[in-house]
Chains A and B, each alone.
Chain A
Amino acid sequence: MASAAAALRHLALGARLAPHGRNAGAPLQRLQQRRGLRLSAPAAIQVTVRDALNQALDEELERDERVFLLGEEVAQYDGAYKISRGLWKKYGDKRVIDTPISEMGFAGIAVGAAMAGLRPVCEFMTFNFSMQAIDQVINSAAKTCYMSAGSIAVPIVFRGPNGASAGVAAQHSQCFAAWYGHCPGLKVVSPWSSEDAKGLLKAAIRDDNPVVMLESELLYGVPFEMSEQAQSKEFVVPIGKAKIEKQGTHVTLVAHSRPVGHCLEAAAVLSKEGVECEVINLRTIRPMDIETVEASVVKTNHLVTVEGGWPQFGVGAEICARIMEGPAFNYLDAPAVRVTGADVPMPYAKILEDNSIPQVKDIVFAVKKALNI
């Protein structure tokens, strides 16, 4: 009975997935959805990052028949993290392919398929396993357009969860933003919200270049508001453009992925103390939108970078170096401050793990240090 009602609701909505997640839609929205009519202005709905990614994959698989998904458990298991739920059932064996546990092999196969005109989405169960295949990502995918003087394109997306999870210990918790962000020829994106996830994945799939999309396992189940515009099948977030999540005047906080949320929480805490933070969601690691950061620093005169990865040679280090080299340096009233993961392989015990990633209190402390308050 419940499934029949759900099916009817699904029909009324058109192809849109019924939202589910902790705050699954206000009553008014649900009423609107049941009727399939617009009673008032278009409403935003709550969508989890997982569902946003699923929508993006579904829409792009439908839009372009050269797009296909491959990886471990993506088909019949519905995805190790259920990102590809329902897609194999809808599109079949040709478009959604389960691979054996052979990262180097299937990543190479995916790159070759892209060279020959397909548009693969290659899932790494986590980016930790991408290290097995990193030669294919860098030497075969990233560099080929340049080496061939533009005659061979590699329109591939490598995606999967990156960075810290919960209790998965050192070998399963590494952040690869700095490693992949280092290499010319790649584009590297790191979404935070559902809008980021959907828009960036769609942009990545439509991009004719190799894109590494670093998701966060801890964000998959988190619902975010998605505007009407973001729900459209043509909604794409441009790669290479940061987003200012919150305007502020006293300090610029720059982050990517899950730490963006921590920055907003820290901003809320600091706001009560009269410090207004401007929070920038990088969205793209490479090519990095340093101009947005610069413009913000010119305004606020203080910079704090926040990331989950290790400090040495990290994303924050790059931001600091570029700010120093650019016009914003003269507007800094204090040295830039970095908040990062602790410089240790990720430990297991909860107290140790909690203190190995940047917490809200660490960001607040860093801001106060930067502002000397």
Chain B
Amino acid sequence: MRKMLLAALSRILQGPAAAGRTASRVMVASRNYGDFASEATFEIKKCDLHRLEAGPGTTAVMTREEGLQYYKTMQTIRRMELKSDQLYKQKIIRGFCHLYDGQEACCVGIEAAIKPTDHVITAYRAHGFTYTRGVPVREILAELTGRKGGCAKGKGGSMHMYTKNFYGGNGIVGAQVPLGAGIALACKYFGKNEICLALYGDGAANQGQIFETYNMAALWKLPCIFVCENNRYGMGTSVERAAASTDYYKRGYFIPGLRVDGMDILCVREAVKFAAEYCRSGNGPLVMELQTYRYHGHSMSDPGISYRTREEIQEVRSKSDPITLLKDRMVNNNLASVEELKEIDVAVRKEIEEAAQFATTDPEPPLEELGYHIYFNEPPFEVRGPNQWIKYKSVS
């Protein structure tokens, strides 16, 4: 009731310039966009440290703009993944589809702490990062539906999406980690003070090539942050059943590490800021474990309840959902109103619907282009089809 009165008063008292104002005065009688706090300070969980004297702080400052932007981004990813679920069940998306809902705070928190000129590489649960690194939702969905408007022109699909300074989207578990260290090597080589974040999951953490990479990254002091997104399950195998040590942040042994609450976007942001600073200063690599959770199963062909209980999933949703956590923080600290956030929800849904509309109506890539892009910067040549008479042209 009170909220309705305040909303009504707010509409009356709002002037045309109200939307842009960020003044921090508080009026009791009405709620105006100008009445929100411009920023607030939050307590965040202390990170567990490995071979580090000090870690990220236990408070984080978030401005209203930042909060709104984080909220919108996370909500966009959430709704995009749910839309993908829907499209997959309608058989409009085929093959593999590994959804990221629940883990939004990881990719959004990372992007908030790094620069567009920094580099990111991850595994196959990549839609969230593809978005935060700059690919529009419509191009992501169109890639999932295999259309020519997809970010990889329909050639890659769910696991192979790329953009500037984002190297996918990699299907082979663990292979992206050496690649990430190689990107970091290039960062060091070119001397432009850039870093690379190489992400992998709790399942991939047991891959031998990751330990080979830890060794070389430490030896050569590569500016690489190894980020383990620990969502507790590698496909259907819980961490306890897969790893002799589940302290993934310590697995780098001689590489310092930190364990971070991956459901709290501010915690992620502050930790990545800390790690980025560390790497940019020439100290070499860091290992960061983000404790997070995926609501969906491993992929769309996994209902996700044979190896964990519905109760567990429900408990995470109700107590640790990253979007809800952010929303509560913002509302309780006068950084935004519930209505405002609802308006964002509506706008996001609309954007997703339009993107899905595009993704379901855009044509498939032309058959003539089947052989394109086999090589880079190569004069056109002929590619053999299923028999010797079927030939495709290959253009770079």
Contacts and interface: CB of A to CB of B under 8 A. Distances in A.
Nearest to A151: B162
B388 A153 contact: no
B226 to A, nearest CB: 13
Given A149-B372, A184-B374, A117 B213 contact: no
Nearest to A105: B212
Q: Which of A99, A113, A117 has the most CB of B within 10 A?
A: A113
Contacts of A99: 216
Among A100, A109, A114, A185, residue most surrounded by chain B Cβ atoms (within 10 Å): A109
Contacts of B156: 147-149
Interface residues of A, number: 44
B375 A145 contact: yes
Interface in A110-154: 110-118, 135-136, 139-140, 144-154
Contacts of B144: none
Interface residues of B, number: 49
Given A135-B175, A140-B175, A112 B186 contact: yes
Contacts of A155: 376
B140 interface: no
Interface in B48-96: none
A145 B179 contact: no
Contact of B189 (A68, A106, A108, A115): A68
Interface in B176-210: 177-187, 189-190, 196, 208-209
Interface in A184-200: 184-185, 187
A192 B119 CA distance: 41
Given A208-B376, A208-B377, A139 B182 contact: no
A209 B376 contact: yes
Nearest to B381: A287
A45 interface: no
Interface string B5-35: 0000000000000000000000000000000
A145 B375 CA distance: 6
A115 B216 contact: no
Nearest to B170: A140
A97 B182 CA distance: 13
B381 A113 contact: no
Interface string B207-240: 0110011011001100000000000000000000
Contacts of B185: 109, 112-113, 116, 118
Contacts of A108: 175, 177-179, 181-182, 209, 213
A183 B121 CA distance: 24
Nearest to B190: A117
Nearest to B172: A139
Given A113-B186, A116-B186, A100 B213 contact: no
A94 interface: yes
A270 interface: no
Given A184-B374, A208-B378, 20 more contacts: A99-B216, A100-B212, A104-B212, A105-B209, A106-B216, A108-B209, A109-B216, A112-B179, A112-B181, A113-B185, A114-B182, A116-B185, A116-B187, A117-B190, A145-B374, A147-B155, A149-B152, A150-B372, A150-B396, A151-B152
In the A-B complex, the 9 residue pairs with the closest CB atoms: A112-B182, A108-B178, A105-B212, A116-B186, A112-B179, A102-B212, A109-B182, A150-B373, A153-B376
23 contacts: A68-B189, A102-B209, A104-B178, A108-B177, A110-B182, A111-B178, A112-B178, A113-B183, A116-B183, A116-B185, A116-B186, A116-B196, A135-B175, A140-B170, A145-B374, A146-B155, A147-B155, A147-B168, A151-B163, A152-B168, A153-B377, A185-B375, A325-B388
